[in-house]
């Protein structure tokens, strides 16, 4: 039977119209691995400096206050970049509830990590944070039903052994407590990575970041009344500057994904360990021991094994 003209036009419109459940497709920039690596390295270097700033601030301010300033003042530069590029449509939110849970877990993960910054040297906390992709691999089977190979399980076990080398159980009560906070932050951060993965199927990456920062700031605002520490002029400018810089660094970390795949850029993230060692030594006088370097190498090798396998 011949299809009526009106129905035929309707079907053609449905095929041409963008899906309401998926982001509109935009023309992607040409692949450029060199540019992607350089931008990513710059972003990681600046984020490493910011981690040093946060570690310094964590000695004087509660972590909820630091996280609030980080997120609230990171919003203006990100929104300015979107407006300047005519990309404000990337803020479209298609999964409000998932955005809310994503903001909650990301906020908690950051606060736990910042407590770890206060108690441990930067190199140790950075090395522990590298275990997040391995935890994601371990959780992919029970939570997502994904098939995880025995090589991936071996890499997960190897990564946890590397963390134990870094942490050195029994090295001291403060170290143990700091390691627990850092590990808890990494575990919740891995759950957050799974949430990001689900959100990225329908929402744009920079939109996810903006909504996280906005929702996190709203969540943290009431807590400031119970733990607020009034900063001096210098500290206030430092907190605001840290937030603005965090927004710019977030963009620098995301931008390379337009020029190269995440797997190709993953090894570049480990330059953060080198920066944490340098900043920790110059700023806080921390000298990483052999165990920290050896354990970090084991964690990095385990993660690269998983990435190469995938």
How far lies 130's CA from each of 114, 127, 139, 194, 259, in Å? 15, 5, 16, 15, 23
- Residue 264 to residue 35: CA distance in whole angstroms: 12
Radius of gyration of the chain (CA): 21
Per-residue pLDDT tens, the chain, 310 aa: give them. 444 444 344 434 333 333 333 344 455 566 767 788 888 888 888 988 999 999 999 999 999 999 999 999 999 999 998 998 888 888 898 989 999 999 999 999 999 999 999 988 888 888 888 788 777 777 766 766 667 677 777 777 777 787 777 766 555 666 678 888 998 998 998 888 888 878 888 888 889 899 999 999 999 999 999 999 999 999 999 999 999 999 988 888 877 777 776 666 666 777 788 888 889 889 988 887 787 788 778 877 777 776 665 5
CA–CA dist 247, 144 (Å, integer): 31
Q: How far is CA 69 from CA 72, 220, 248, 281, in A?
A: 5, 10, 14, 26
DSSP 8-state code for residue 120: S
Q: How many CB atoms lie within 10 A of CB 296?
A: 26
**Rounded to an integer, what distance in angstroms lies between the CA atom of residue 51 and that of residue 47?**
6
Rounded to two decimals, the pTM is 0.80
User: For residue 210, what are the contacts with CB-CB under 8 A and spacing of at least 6?
Assistant: 75, 78, 79, 82, 91
């Amino acid at each position: 039977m011949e299809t009526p003209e009106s129905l035929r036009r309707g079907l053609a419109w449905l095929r041409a119209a963008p899906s309401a459940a998926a982001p509109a497709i935009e023309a992607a920039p040409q692949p450029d691995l060199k540019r992607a690596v350089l931008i990513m390295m710059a972003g990681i270097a600046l984020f490493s400096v910011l981690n040093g700033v946060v570690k310094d601030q964590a000695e004087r301010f509660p972590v909820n206050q630091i996280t609030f300033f980080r997120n609230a003042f990171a919003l203006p530069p990100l929104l300015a970049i979107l407006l300047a590029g005519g990309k404000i449509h990337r803020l479209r939110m298609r999964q409000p509830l998932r955005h809310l849970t994503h903001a909650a877990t990301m906020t908690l993960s950051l606060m736990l990590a910042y407590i770890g910054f206060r108690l441990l040297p930067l190199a140790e906390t950075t090395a522990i944070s590298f275990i997040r992709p391995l935890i994601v691999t371990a959780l992919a089977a029970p939570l997502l039903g994904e098939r995880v190979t025995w090589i991936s399980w071996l890499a997960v076990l190897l990564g946890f052994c590397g963390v134990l080398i870094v942490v050195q159980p029994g090295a001291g009560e403060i170290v143990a407590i700091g390691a627990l906070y850092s590990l808890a932050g990494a575990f919740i951060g891995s759950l957050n990575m799974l949430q990001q993965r689900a959100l990225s199927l329908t929402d744009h990456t920079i939109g996810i970041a903006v909504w996280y920062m906005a929702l996190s700031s709203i969540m943290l605002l009431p807590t400031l009344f119970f733990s607020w520490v009034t900063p001096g002029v210098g500290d206030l400018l430092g907190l605001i500057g840290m937030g603005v810089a965090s927004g710019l660094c977030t963009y620098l970390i995301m931008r390379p994904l337009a020029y190269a795949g995440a797997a190709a850029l993953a090894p570049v993230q480990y330059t953060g360990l080198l920066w944490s060692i340098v900043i920790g030594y110059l700023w806080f006088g921390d000298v990483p021991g052999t165990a920290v370097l050896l354990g970090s190498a084991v964690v990095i090798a385990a993660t690269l094994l998983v990435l190469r396998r995938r």
